[in-house]
Structure 1
Amino acid sequence: MSSHHHTSHSNCWKHTADERIGLIAERLKGNDDIRNKLPGLRDILKDYVDPDVPVAPADFHRRLLRVFRDSDADFSYQECLLKLTEDERDRIEKFVADDQPLDDVSRDFDMCVSIGVREHLQHLTGVDCAWISSEGVQTLAAAASKVVHGAGADTVHFQNWGLGVEYVPQYTCIPNSVAGVQRIVKYAKQHDMGVRCAGFRHSWAPIFGRQGQITISLLSLAEATKIPNFTALSKILPNWLLDKNELQSIEVVSGTPRVKGNALVRVGVSTTNEQLRRWCVENNKYTYPLNVIMVEMTVGGTNAPICHGAGRRHATLSDLVRKVEYVDCNGKLRAVSDPRHLRAAAGCFGLMGVVTHLTLEFQPMTYALMKPEKLPVLRAVPPPSDMKEEDIPPVLRIPGLTPAQREEDLRRFRESATNAYYSEWFWFPYSDKCWVNCWNDTPDASGTEDYPSNLQTFIMFLSQFTVNVLQNAKILTELITALHLDEAAVTLISEAAMFAMPAWDEPVKTYLTDALHFQRGIQNVRVLNLEVEMPLQPKVDNPNEIDYEFVQRAWWDAILQCYRHSKTAPQRMPLEMRIMGGSEIVMAPQRGNKLGTCAIEILTLKSAEELWIPYVEGILSKWLSYTDANGKKLRTRPHMAKQWKGIRVDGRPWVEKMKNEDYAEERREFKALLSEIGRQHGWTLQDLKKRFSNDFFDDFFFDDI
C-alpha cells in the first residue's frame, strides 16, 4: 500500500503511543463483551495515558498481568506460568497479587532451570536415559556421555530456536571430551555418515544438520531446547554448568598476542557466554572486548557463523581467534594458527571439522560507563537531509525544533557512531522514543557495580513473561479484530518492552562483560530476525570522514515501512542498529568495510510469521538500493546466521544473489584456503562435503565437487 493511503487511514501515523493506547480504552468502553473478557484492561490503559496518574513500570506490568490472570476467556497467563519453576511461579503470583513489596519479591532472585537433564530428556523422548539398544549405539555411547536415538521408535526431532529448521538426525550425541568427539567422527566415517554440531540453536539460517546425520549437541538437551531457560538470570549456575567438562574449559595460555598487554585465552566450544562472562568478572583481569548480547550462546555457536558486537573499533568474534583446534574428517585432532589460514578456519561454519577449542585474544578488563537514554525518535537518529518533514509521520515530528538543535542532534549521533566504544539504537514499533545505548569504557575500577541487580533482573524477567503472555493471548487477537486497532495492540507490547529498558541520569560503571550482555534472558521470547551489514561510506570531499546519510536513511526507511504497514503490524519487535568495524574473515559480510559497518536488523514475534516475508522484502528493496558516490550499489550482505532463506530480492531467491554476487569471490578464496589446510592435514574438500556439510552448504560451497 502507498504511504498516502496510510497517512489518511492509519491511527499510528497520526496518534502518539499514549493516544493509541487511549484509543483501546475508549473503544473498550463501547464493547461490553471484550471488556468483560479482559477485566480491568480499560482501567489500566486509562491510567497509563492520564498525565495526572503516575504509573510505575512495575505497576504497569502487575496490572496488565492481573488482567490476563483474571480473564475467564483467555488462559495465556496460566499457560505461561506452567513453563516456570515453582519458585518463579511463586514470585510471579506474589508480584501480581501485590502481596509483598517488589524488593521482597525480587530478593535473592535465582533463576535456575529446575528440570534436570535426565528428567527433561525423558520428557523429550518418552524413555529413560538407558537408550542403548544396538551395537552401533553402544559404540557411540562410548564416545559420548549421552546418545539419543534419532530415527526410529524414540524419535528426537531437531528444531532450531526459531522453529524454522527441523529434521530427524540418526543419532544425537552429547560428548564431554575431545576423545569423545574423535570417536564420534570415526564412527561416522566407518558408517558413511555426516556430522554437524549445534549449541543453543540460535541461527535462523539452514546451517544445522540434515536428515540421517549425527548431530553433536554442545550442550545437554535440557539446556539447548528448554524455553524458558533462566540460566542467564541466575546467581547460582545449575549443576550441569558447574560441572564443566573438557569442552567447557577456560584458561589463559602462553603465546604472543597481537597487541601488547593482551592475553591469549583457550576456551572450549561448549562454554556458554554466561560461563565466560562470569569467568571474566570473577577473575577481573581479562575480558573479551566484544560479544553478542545474549548469554545463552556457546562460544562455538557464536564463532562458527561469524557473529559480532557493536562499536566501530571492533571487528567480529571470529577476528579474535588466534588458534582453532578441531577434529578432522579422519577423527584426528588438528590445529590451525597460521594468520592467513585463520581467515577461513576461524569462521568456517563447522565445515572444516568439529571444532573443540578456540584460543581468543582478550584485552585487560575495563569498565563500561553505561548511560542508556530514551530519546524522541526524531532526535535519536536524525532523518537524512533530503527527507521532507511531510514524509515523517506527524506523530514523530517535533514542532519548534531549531536548526541549531537539529545540528546538535546530528553531531551527537555522528560522534557516538564514530568514536563510542559501544554504539547501538533500538526502536520498538510505534514508540515515540528510541532507546539509545552508546558508551565508553575506563580502566578505573573504582565504584564498579554489578549489573543487573536482582531487582533489575526481575524486571527483565517480568517484561519477558508479559510479552509472552501478550504474544500467546488469543483474546488479544479478538480484541484487535473487534476494535480495528492492530498497531495499538503492538504499541502495548512495545510499551511493555520499553518499560524494562533502563534509562539513567548518571552513568553506571560496571564490568565491560556485564555491559555487553546488558539484557538477560532474551532467548525466552521467540522472534524472527533479519539483519544486513552495510559498508560505511566516505564523504565526497573527505575520504577519511564517514558520510552517515545512508545510515540515517536505512534507519528511517525501516521506520516508515513499519508505519505504512500499521494496518496489519507485521513488525512487533524492535528495529536495531549497531555501528561496528570491518573484518579480516573471508566469509564475514563486514569484510572489506575499511571505514566500518552499519549492522541493521528488524525483528518480530513468532506470532506474526505469516505476515513477515512480504514485509521484510519491502524493507530489503530499500536497503539494497543504496549507492555510493559513483552510483554503484553498496555491497550490503546478510548476516549468515540470521534469516535469509525463503526471502526474494529483485524477483529471485536472495540466496542466489548471495552465492553468485555477494560472496562470489569470497567463496572461491574460502575453498582455496581450506584446500591448503587440507593438504597439510590430510583431507580434501570432497571429504568435507561428505562428512561435515548439509544441503545448503552442498549447493553454496561444494556445487562443483
Structure 2
Amino acid sequence: MTEQPRAWTHSVDERVAVIATHLHASPAMQTKLPGLKDLLDDYLDPSSSIGTDEDQEGYHRRLLRVFRDSKDDFAYEQWLTKLQLDDQKRVEEFVDGGSVEKAGRGYKHGVSLGVREHIEELVRGGAKPVVVEGLNNVIVENDQSKEGFVQNTVDELIQPFKHHHAYSSIVYKEVPFQNWGLDVQYVPSYTCIPTSVAAIQQIIRYAKTHDLGVRCAGFRHSWSPIFGRNGQITISLLPLQDVTKIPNFTALGKAFPQSKPTELETIESVVATSSTRPKTPRNTLVRIGVSTTNERLRRWCIDNGEVTIPLNTIMVEMTIGGTNGSICHGAGRQNTTLSDLVRRVEYIDCNGELRIVEDSEHLKAASGCFGLMGVITHLTLEFHPMTYALMKPQKLAVVHTIPPPDNMLEEDIPPALRIDITPEKRQADIEAFEKHCTDDYYVEYFWFPYADECWINNWNNTEDSNGVIDYPSEAQTFFMFVSQFTLNLLQDSKVLNELANAVNLDTAAVTLLSRTAMLALPAWDKPVKTYLTDALHFQRGIQNVRVLDMEVEMPLLPKKENPSKPSFDLVRRAWWDAILECYKHSDTCPQRMPLEMRIMGDSEIIMAPQRGNTLGTCSIEILTLESAKSLWKPYAEEVLAKWLSYTDTEGKPLRSRPHWAKQWAGFEVNGRPWLEKMKDVDNKDEILEFKRVLGKIGKDHGWTLANLKKRFSNDLFDSLFFDNV
C-alpha cells in the first residue's frame, strides 16, 4: 500500500511537531531561523497560550521576530521596505513588544491622493500638458510612464493646493496594464483617469474619431480577461498608484482623511420619481459615482446612520462600477447580487452622449453589462434602513462545521480530520448547518488547507442600535495589517521552503501559513453588535496578499420530502470533494489559501450566474497564493471537474456557472474550453436575451450592437457575445 502523505494522517499539531523535531536536530537550521524552535515548542506546550485565540498577538510577534532576526532570509526586510515610514515604525514597534493597541493607536496611513490632487502633483513636478486633438488633459509621456514611474509617482503625502481645473484627466501613454492577480496583461495606447462626466465624454469622442476601443478598470480585482486589449484606451476609475501598488492602504485607519470626491465619487440620497423608485417603500435610493470605493461608501453609510447597502463584497478595495459591472455578490439566501440593487444607470454611449436607463426590463441587462453598453458614470441603488449585525464568528472541527455527505465512507475522510461522533451528534450538526444556510442573514465558511478547524461567519441583523460599536477598531485593523504582512513574508521566505525540503514535509510551509491565517481570524463567545456595512467588510486590507481564485455558482436543489425547501446535500458534497482534492495534492500543495463557501439567493440580472436558482445558490471557491501559480491551473481544473459533474434530481447536469470576475477563461471542462460550454449550454439562452435587450436599449439611444463591439468590447466578449455581429 502506498504511504499516504503526512497531511492525510497528521493533524496540524502533529505536523508542527515534525517541524519542531527537525529543528531540534538541526543547529544550522536553528541559526537560519532563530527562535522558531522555541516558538514551536511553546505552541505545542498545552500550558502555553501561544498559538491560541487568546494570544494571537504573541504568536505573530514571535514569528515575525524569527524572520527579522534571520541573517539568511530577507523576506522581512523586503516587505518592510514596501511600507511607508510610519507603517514601518508601527510594525517594528509591534515586533519589539508593543501591543496592537499601542502600535495601532491613532492609526493613520499616508493619504492616498485623489485624482485632482494627483493632477496637481504631476503638474507641480514638471509634467507638461500635451495638446491632443479632442482632449484637454495632462499627458505623461512614455519615458516617464514605465512601470517604475507608475509604482512610485506619489509615495509621500503632499499638501493640496489650488486645483488645476483646466485638466480634466490624467493620461498616460502606453503604460503596461496588469490586473491585481497578475494573470492579465496588455498595453493600451492611453490610460486615462478622468475626474468628471465631461472628461469621459471627451475620451469616448476622441476614441470614436481615432477608431479606438475603450474599456474601464477599477481596482483590477477580476482574474478573467474582462479588461481591455492592446491598443485600446483604458479608463482607470482610480489613480494608478492606488491600483498598482501593494501594500495598499485604502482600508486601514478610519481616522485618515479621504481625498475630496470627484464628480465620479459622489454619494447622495435622491428622491424617488415615477420612473425610478425603490421596490420596497421603506427603502431609499442612493446615487453613487462609479469611481466610489467600497471604503468610501462604507464610511458614508456609517456617517449617514439612516441607510445602508444591504449586501456587498468583503473587500473595501473595489469600486461600485467594478462590482456592478461584473455582477458581484455577498452572502445570505435572501440576498441577491449587487446588480439587482440598481434602479438607474447613467452612462456615456459610443457617440459620447450621456444616456439614462430606468426601465426595469432594460436594467436586467444594463446593470450587469460588463461595460459593453458604454462607460457608466453613476448608478442609483436601492438601500435599506440601517441595521446592525450580531457577529459571533467561531471555529469548529471540520467534520462538525459542514458534515461529510451521507454516502461518504469513513475511510474516505482524511484521518487527520476524523472525530468519533455519535449518529445523534452528526444529525445535530447537519441540522445546525442547514438551519444557518436556510435562515441566517449572512452565511460564510472558510477552510484553510490542511487545517483541523473551519472558520464560520454566520450572523443575523437587528434594528436595535443599543450597544453598537465600530468593528474593526484601530487596533484590530492594525492587527489585520500585521497578519497580512506576515503571510506575505511567509510565502516569500526562501529559508522556510528550505526547511520544508529538509524535513521532508511538503505541507510544512502551508501548515504555518494556514495556522497563521486561522489565528488572525476572530472567534468570540458573545456576539458583537456592529454596523451592517462594517460586518460586510469584516476583513480589511486583504488585497495586500495577492491570490488566484476560481469560483462556481451552483444552484440549490429541492428537498425530496418538501420541494419548496432547499436541500444542502450537494453543498456538503461540493465542500468535501474540494477538501479531498486538496489532500490528494498535498505533495505539491497547489492550494495555499482557503476553500470558501457562501449561501446566497438568485438574481433577476440576465447574465448573473445565479439567475434561475430560485431556491438559492451555493457560491463556492478555491484560492491559492501567487507563489503557487505554476501549479494552479491543472489543480483548479480537477476541482472544477468535480463541481461540474453533479446532476439534479432527474439526473440532468446542473447549470453551474462561474463568477464572471474570477478565473474561468482558459480553463477546460472535459477536454473543451469552459467558454464553449457556457456559450453552447449553460448561458446559451441568456446570451441571446442579453443581446436582444441591449438591442432594444440601443434602438432608443441611437446605437447598434455593432457599435458596441467596435467601441467597448475586447477579445473575450467578441467571442462570447459578438461572434455573429
Same-fold status (TM-score > 0.5): yes
Is 1:559 paired with 2:582?
no
Report the Cα offset of residue 491 of structure 1: 1.1
Report the Cα offset of residue 242 of structure 1: 2.7
Report the Cα offset of residue 103 of structure 1: 2.4
Please give the alpha-carbon distance, in whole angstroms, between the structure 2 residues aligned to 1:529 and 1:170: 29
Q: Report if aligned partners of 2:35, 2:66 keep a CA contact under 8 Å in 1.
A: yes
* 1:475-525 CA-partner distances (Å, limit 9, x unpaired): 222222222212121010011111110110000000000000000000000
Pairwise mapping of residues 216-365 of structure 1 onto structure 2 (< 5 A)?
A: 216-238=235-257, 241-255=258-272, 256-365=277-386
* Partner-residue secondary structure (3-state), 2:406: coil
* 1:570-620 CA-partner distances (Å, limit 9, x unpaired): 111000000000000000000000000000000000000011111111111
Out of 432, 448, 458, the position equivalent to 2:478 is: 458
Pairwise mapping of residues 109-128 of structure 1 onto structure 2 (< 5 A)?
A: 109-113=107-111
Q: Report if aligned partners of 1:290, 1:314 keep a CA contact under 8 Å in 2.
A: yes
Report the Cα offset of residue 134 of structure 1: 4.7
Pairwise mapping of residues 59-458 of structure 1 onto structure 2 (< 5 A)?
A: 59-98=58-97, 100-113=98-111, 130-136=127-133, 139-141=136-138, 145-151=168-174, 156-238=175-257, 241-255=258-272, 256-399=277-420, 401-458=421-478
Is 1:49 paired with 2:44?
yes
Aligned equivalent of 2:532 = 512
Q: Report if aligned partners of 1:306, 1:316 keep a CA contact under 8 Å in 2.
A: yes
- Partner amino acid, structure 2, of 1:111: H
Count, aligned residues: 691
Q: Report if aligned partners of 1:536, 1:593 keep a CA contact under 8 Å in 2.
A: yes
TM-score, normalised by the number of residues in structure 1: 0.95
- Partner amino acid, structure 1, of 2:280: V
The two structures, once aligned, show a CA RMSD in angstroms of 1.9
Q: Report if aligned partners of 2:222, 2:662 keep a CA contact under 8 Å in 1.
A: yes
* Partner-residue secondary structure (3-state), 2:564: strand
Is 1:22 paired with 2:17?
yes
Q: Report if aligned partners of 1:529, 1:602 keep a CA contact under 8 Å in 2.
A: yes
Long gaps (5+) in structure 1: none
Please give the alpha-carbon distance, in whole angstroms, between the structure 2 residues aligned to 1:175 and 1:122: 14
Report the Cα offset of residue 453 of structure 1: 0.9
The list of structure 1 runs, each at least 4 consecutive aligned residues, that deviate by more than 6 angstroms after superposition, is: 114-123
Is 1:548 paired with 2:547?
no
Please give the alpha-carbon distance, in whole angstroms, between the structure 2 residues aligned to 1:102 and 1:292: 27
In structure 2, relative to structure 1, the CA distance for the partners of 1:466 and 1:473 (3 Å cut) is same
* Partner-residue secondary structure (3-state), 1:186: helix
Q: Report if aligned partners of 2:135, 2:202 keep a CA contact under 8 Å in 1.
A: no
Report the Cα offset of residue 452 of structure 1: 0.3
- Partner amino acid, structure 1, of 2:15: R
Q: Report if aligned partners of 2:134, 2:206 keep a CA contact under 8 Å in 1.
A: no
Q: Report if aligned partners of 1:140, 1:184 keep a CA contact under 8 Å in 2.
A: no
Q: Report if aligned partners of 1:38, 1:71 keep a CA contact under 8 Å in 2.
A: yes
Is 1:468 paired with 2:488?
yes
TM-score, normalised by the number of residues in structure 2: 0.93
Please give the alpha-carbon distance, in whole angstroms, between the structure 2 residues aligned to 1:614 and 1:287: 41
Report the Cα offset of residue 139 of structure 1: 3.9
- Partner amino acid, structure 2, of 1:24: I
Q: Report if aligned partners of 1:143, 1:184 keep a CA contact under 8 Å in 2.
A: no
Report the Cα offset of residue 194 of structure 1: 0.8
Q: Report if aligned partners of 2:137, 2:171 keep a CA contact under 8 Å in 1.
A: no
Which is worse superposed, 588-597 or 100-109? 100-109
* Partner-residue secondary structure (3-state), 1:498: helix
Which is worse superposed, 559-568 or 529-538? 559-568
* Partner-residue secondary structure (3-state), 1:438: coil
* Partner-residue secondary structure (3-state), 1:232: coil
Please give the alpha-carbon distance, in whole angstroms, between the structure 1 residues aligned to 2:431 and 2:693: 43
Which is worse superposed, 24-33 or 456-465? 24-33
Please give the alpha-carbon distance, in whole angstroms, between the structure 2 residues aligned to 1:304 and 1:96: 42
Report the Cα offset of residue 334 of structure 1: 0.2
* 1:447-478 CA-partner distances (Å, limit 9, x unpaired): 00110011211211111000001011122222
* 1:641-694 CA-partner distances (Å, limit 9, x unpaired): 000122111011211212222211111110000000000000000100111011
Is 1:523 paired with 2:550?
no
- Partner amino acid, structure 1, of 2:243: A
Which is worse superposed, 193-202 or 111-120? 111-120
Aligned equivalent of 2:145 = none
Q: Report if aligned partners of 1:580, 1:599 keep a CA contact under 8 Å in 2.
A: yes
Please give the alpha-carbon distance, in whole angstroms, between the structure 1 residues aligned to 2:530 and 2:99: 27
Please give the alpha-carbon distance, in whole angstroms, between the structure 1 residues aligned to 2:536 and 2:625: 24
* Partner-residue secondary structure (3-state), 2:565: strand
In structure 2, relative to structure 1, the CA distance for the partners of 1:269 and 1:647 (3 Å cut) is same
Give the percent of matched residue pairs that are identical in Structure 1 and Structure 2: 61
Report the Cα offset of residue 534 of structure 1: 0.2
Aligned equivalent of 1:700 = 720
- Partner amino acid, structure 2, of 1:216: I
Report the Cα offset of residue 632 of structure 1: 0.6
Long gaps (5+) in structure 2: 139-164
* Partner-residue secondary structure (3-state), 1:148: strand
Which is worse superposed, 645-654 or 688-697? 645-654
Please give the alpha-carbon distance, in whole angstroms, between the structure 2 residues aligned to 1:150 and 1:9: 55
Please give the alpha-carbon distance, in whole angstroms, between the structure 1 residues aligned to 2:511 and 2:702: 58
Please give the alpha-carbon distance, in whole angstroms, between the structure 2 residues aligned to 1:80 and 1:136: 44
* Partner-residue secondary structure (3-state), 1:202: coil
In structure 2, relative to structure 1, the CA distance for the partners of 1:358 and 1:488 (3 Å cut) is same
Q: Report if aligned partners of 1:323, 1:360 keep a CA contact under 8 Å in 2.
A: yes
Report the Cα offset of residue 278 of structure 1: 0.5
Please give the alpha-carbon distance, in whole angstroms, between the structure 2 residues aligned to 1:72 and 1:420: 50
Report the Cα offset of residue 111 of structure 1: 3.2
Please give the alpha-carbon distance, in whole angstroms, between the structure 2 residues aligned to 1:673 and 1:131: 44
Q: Report if aligned partners of 2:114, 2:239 keep a CA contact under 8 Å in 1.
A: no
Please give the alpha-carbon distance, in whole angstroms, between the structure 1 residues aligned to 2:433 and 2:167: 51
Q: Report if aligned partners of 1:587, 1:667 keep a CA contact under 8 Å in 2.
A: yes
